[in-house]
Amino acid sequence: MDRRHFIFAGSSLALTGGMLMAMTKTSTASEAEKFDFTLTDAQWREKLPPDAYAVLRRESTERAGSSALNSEKRVGVFHCLGCEQALFESKTKFESGTGWPSFFVPLPDAVATREDRSLFGVRTEVHCSRCGGHLGHVFPDGPAPTGLRYCMNGVALRFEPA
């Protein structure tokens, strides 16, 4: 490779990196939507632990395998940590092997979805329908009867035993 090709390749990589950085979200998509339960950013920061704030309000992702809810086997309901809305019944939880709590169906009208293009492709983001808090993503590789895997961040959930 001669010097001219080296400079061109380096410039192309720098431009591509700059474009990717420009496409990175600086705010959540839910900020443009209207939800029944709303707080100011300062109120969310006060209400939520830092890791839950990062996931629910800034669409971060917790480290795989870090949630105590991965091993939760009791009968009960999983709620949104942000607004307390009931989201998933424990009977719909399954072991996906991914390191995140996974469910095959949410409670009726508990979650909503939107297209997520933040990581080199298209995924379906799942958020709480009441407060807009980011919960995780849904994938078409789950068990019957739905064939869906709602892969949720445990830090965004609170479990209430029956």
| Catalytic residue positions, numbered | 151
- Edge-to-edge strands, sheet with 123-128: 93-94, 102-103, 149-152, 134-139, 123-128, 111-116
Longest dimension (CA), the chain: 69
Helix (H) or strand (E) holding 116: strand 111-116
Q: Which residues contact 63 (CB under 8 A, 6 or more apart)?
A: 99
What phi and psi values does residue 144 have, to the nearest 5 degrees?
Answer: -65, 150
CA 60, 85, 83, 159: dihedral to nearest 10 degrees?
Answer: -70
Q: What share of the chain is helix, strand, coil (3-state, %, to 5)?
A: 30, 25, 45
